[in-house]
Amino acid sequence: MDLKFRNKTITGILTVLPKRVVPFEEEMGDYNFPEKNSLRLKKVMGYNTHRIAAEGQCSSDFCIFGLQYLFDNGLLDKDDIDALILVTQSPDYYMPPTSNLIQGHFGMKNDMICLDINQGCAGFEIGLIQSFLLLEQETINKVVLLNADVLSSKVSKHDRNSRPLMGDAASITIVESCDNDQEILCSVNMDGTGAKAIMIPAGGFRTPASEETAAMSEDMAGNLRSLNNIVMQGDDVFNFVQREVPPMIDRLLERANKKVEDVDWYMFHQPNKLMLNKLAEAIGIPYEKMPSNIVENFGNASGVTVPTCISYNLGDKLTKESYEICMAGFGVGLTWSSILMRVGNLSFNKIIEF
């Protein structure tokens, strides 16, 4: 689905990472594979270290820490927030919405909307699109988009397919109305027939967590996991991404009447380095325009990887300059989405630790 917006802009990005750094080698012994094979995988997939939340740290804790930082530093006024969107697959509770908990924590005004969205790898793009839609309303001028996931506790420590790439993190993106009427082009696509390619089979209402669902079993490749853990059909997901993402980006550029080289940065979701390199090759993007260093340094925290990529790779530069940026997310859902917009002269663009 093609979408187009005007008079909207991003004015700040803050990424909040857990302090705990876990090197790949520290966990390698937990996998049922020879060390040589694991090290080979590390090289190809670009795994190195990932950030893991401390026990008990929830999505809201990261968001609250980040928001408090912005309030304390005069970068955001809580009374200006008209909408609080939280995109997460790891809410604090089934009910109430975690965004309401965050609103309540800070005693924000009642005249606003709080909204939890269950989305993963494309969560930044879906969250931005929802922010733009809300900003079409005259009464909404400032949206705070929160992306947060602490899914590391849902991954089996003996699952080489999922554990090395997993990371925990949150990001806060300020999205506002503005006078600039430059087009923001978006694409959003869903395929629910592939919904089970990345899932946590038990723990919801369909299959409540129980002693039985916690029983570990070994898959054909030697990974051990239970139904309470994340399971990913790695090859299906890889194929889907390679098949769907390049034509989506081609079409986005065509709509903008731009060539690949006209875009300054391609900030894509980061499940692993190989997947990104293959996308870059298929679309014709030079590797240096598509940073692939997030999974390597911090892990894949679902919808937080794109804002982390922007904060980590552009940092202060984005407070002084502006760039044509193409963002894309793909995965859980299955969902694939992209946005082409000018981003820059931000009030802040940085990473802090919690």
Partner 1 sequence: MKEKIIEILSDLRSEFDFSEEGVDFIKEGMIDSFDMVCLVDELEQQFGIKISGVDITSKNFSTVASIEALLKKNGVE
Residues that bind partner 1 (CB under 8 A): 37, 40-41, 43-45, 160-161, 220-221, 234-235, 238-239, 241-243, 272, 274-275, 278-279, 281-282
Give 250 or 264: the residue with its C-beta nearer to partner 1: 250
Rounded to a whole number of angstroms, the minimum distance from the CB of residue 127 to partner 1 is: 26
Rounded to a whole number of angstroms, the minimum distance from the CB of residue 278 to partner 1 is: 3
Give 183 or 219: the residue with its C-beta nearer to partner 1: 219
How far from chain centre, in Å, is Cα 217? 29
Give 129 or 279: the residue with its C-beta nearer to partner 1: 279
Give 44 or 214: the residue with its C-beta nearer to partner 1: 44
Alpha-carbon distance values, 105 to 64, 65, 91, 109 (Å): 8, 11, 15, 11
Give 138 or 235: the residue with its C-beta nearer to partner 1: 235
Rounded to a whole number of angstroms, the minimum distance from the CB of residue 12 to partner 1 is: 34
Burial 142-171 (b: 16+ CB within 10 A, else e): bbbbbbbbbbbbbbbebbbbbbbbbbbbbb
Rounded to a whole number of angstroms, the minimum distance from the CB of residue 280 to partner 1 is: 10
Alpha-carbon distance values, 91 to 14, 57, 102, 149, 207 (Å): 20, 11, 11, 8, 18
Question: Where do we find the tokens 């530093």?
Answer: 73
Give 236 or 264: the residue with its C-beta nearer to partner 1: 236
Rounded to a whole number of angstroms, the minimum distance from the CB of residue 235 to partner 1 is: 4
The dihedrals phi and psi of 39, each to the nearest 5 degrees, come to -70, -35
Rounded to a whole number of angstroms, the minimum distance from the CB of residue 158 to partner 1 is: 14
User: How far apart are alpha carbons 291 and 70 in whole angstroms?
Assistant: 26
Which residue from 264, 353, 278 is spatially nearest to 313, judged by alpha carbons? 264
Rounded to a whole number of angstroms, the minimum distance from the CB of residue 163 to partner 1 is: 12
Which tokens in the block code for residue 161?
Answer: 């397919």
Burial class (CB within 10 angstroms; exposed 0-12, middle 13-18, buried 19+) of 203: middle
User: How far apart are alpha carbons 158 and 108 in whole angstroms?
Assistant: 42
Give 102 or 249: the residue with its C-beta nearer to partner 1: 249
Q: Regarding beta strands 184-190 and 335-344, do their DSSP bridges make them parallel or antiparallel, or are they unpaired?
A: antiparallel
